[in-house]
A and B are shown apart, each in its own frame.
Chain A
């Protein structure tokens, strides 16, 4: 940093004296693509273990999600309709793009766009088969997207109002304790996290516990390697979602990690204590939280910025 020449118009962003700017973002993106599946799979494994302990069981090994996906790639590749392959691959690719953009410090709005697009591909994949269960799952997945989308946008807008930037790199290096400005948005985001992690009470579109109702929802007609790709996309998604929690506490990494652990533990606790609700309640409660906590938080922030100098 000492060597920054006087004529340099832009202050150097992040990194050491050698690696900085665009190189650092590329390295971050590559690290995300390489490490996120491992981290996401471990999170899923710990999740299953903690869930089992909450139910008084021993539970599977922590590495069980990796065994499951390894098994899925060993199975026969049964494809109901070949367009499925394209949609599942697009789901995985756009999930990776969204996460890589996020971790390379890209534009939050673009990240949200790619994130939503990837889920639209999952819905299209489920609609491309002929199973009524798959269609019910696809409809519910769409409802979930409608339910969580406003709150995700409010999260990005709130961070913009606090840090004056939509870029993740600027938000994380701003040094502002964002959580103090956006407590309502954070609670709203935690609710969205419950929907996104497919936890009860909002595991409408696909669930291990709703056989009699929807068989397996969106993933009913995916099997073998295609189902494995969906699982890997989930791992990428977990890491991205946790990265957003990190942003709220970006000024203090230790606090951020503590917040992530507590938030995830709360999600598991909610999953194990609350029964699945109907789609009406999911949509209503998600919009109610986004409309009250989200909008009020942003309104107060706007008022304070406009009136208090």
Chain B
């Protein structure tokens, strides 16, 4: 019996998005879509999160923050890039300050393109990510100590 898929807590980071995708991410939490039906809770804390939702094309100013936030999420974790900017940099990809897609900074598991991505496709992307999350957990059990830091390592 696994509980990971029944209780995915998400954290959302806006890596220089125009706020279009961010509004759609939050729309998924409203009564109309109500993702809490699936146990999804929007935590503001990377240490409590399982699913990392990132919007926007990363730039020089926030790529360190993005990496830091990612590293604080305990294993197993999945990253969902939401919107065409997070997927590839979108129309901003050739700007001098833009990294061009968050997969240049952190590993991405699911891409949800769109400008802005629709709430339905965001939910679809998160559900796809849950399958990957479950695979990662199984891999973690089969190879104990591989990815996991033992307690106290972070001190």
Question: Which residues 79-130 of A have a CB within 8 angstroms of B?
Answer: 79-82, 85
Interface membership of chain A positions 192-226, coded 1 if the CB is closer than 8 angstroms to chain B and 0 otherwise:
00000000000000001001100110011111100
Q: In this assembly, does B128 line the interface, its C-beta being within 8 Å of a C-beta of chain A? A: no
**Is A71 within 8 A of B154, CB to CB?**
no
Question: Which residues 32-68 of A have a CB within 8 angstroms of B?
Answer: 48, 52, 55-61, 64, 66-68
Interfacial chain B residues near A220, Cβ < 8 Å: 45, 47
Of B36, B137, B151, B154, the contact of A85 (CB 8 Å cutoff): B151
**Is B148 within 8 A of A76, CB to CB?**
yes
> Residue on A with the closest CB to B3?
A70
**Is B36 within 8 A of A60, CB to CB?**
yes
> Residue on A with the closest CB to B140?
A76
**Is B155 within 8 A of A67, CB to CB?**
no
> Residue on B with the closest CB to A70?
B3
**Is B154 within 8 A of A224, CB to CB?**
no
Of B1, B36, B149, the contact of A76 (CB 8 Å cutoff): B149
Q: In this assembly, does A277 line the interface, its C-beta being within 8 Å of a C-beta of chain B? A: no
Given A64-B39, A212-B44, A216-B45, A77 and B151 touching (CB < 8 A)? Answer: yes
Interfacial chain B residues near A57, Cβ < 8 Å: 31, 34, 36-37
Of B6, B41, B50, B150, the contact of A208 (CB 8 Å cutoff): B41
Question: Which residues 25-49 of B have a CB within 8 angstroms of A?
Answer: 31, 34, 36-39, 41-45, 47-48
Interfacial chain B residues near A221, Cβ < 8 Å: 47
Of A59, A60, A67, A224, the contact of B3 (CB 8 Å cutoff): A67
Shortest Cβ gap from A221 to chain B (Å)? 7
Q: CA separation between A82 and B149, bound complex, in Å?
A: 13
Q: In this assembly, does A266 line the interface, its C-beta being within 8 Å of a C-beta of chain B? A: no
Of B3, B36, B75, B150, the contact of A52 (CB 8 Å cutoff): B36
Interfacial chain B residues near A219, Cβ < 8 Å: 48
**Is B4 within 8 A of A216, CB to CB?**
no
Q: In this assembly, does A75 line the interface, its C-beta being within 8 Å of a C-beta of chain B? A: yes
> Residue on A with the closest CB to B29?
A57
Interface membership of chain A positions 175-198, coded 1 if the CB is closer than 8 angstroms to chain B and 0 otherwise:
000000000000000000000000
Q: CA separation between A39 and B10, bound complex, in Å?
A: 27
**Is B34 within 8 A of A58, CB to CB?**
yes
Shortest Cβ gap from A226 to chain B (Å)? 9
Q: Which of B6, B31, B50, B155 has the most CB of A within 10 A?
A: B6
B interface list, Cβ under 8 A from A? 1-4, 6-7, 31, 34, 36-39, 41-45, 47-48, 50, 74-76, 137, 140, 147-152, 154-155
27 interchain pairs, CB-CB under 8 A: A52-B34, A56-B31, A57-B31, A57-B37, A59-B36, A61-B39, A64-B6, A67-B3, A68-B39, A69-B3, A70-B1, A70-B7, A74-B137, A75-B76, A76-B147, A78-B149, A78-B151, A78-B154, A79-B151, A79-B155, A81-B155, A85-B151, A208-B43, A211-B42, A211-B43, A216-B44, A220-B47
A interface list, Cβ under 8 A from B? 48, 52, 55-61, 64, 66-71, 74-82, 85, 208, 211-212, 215-216, 219-224, 227
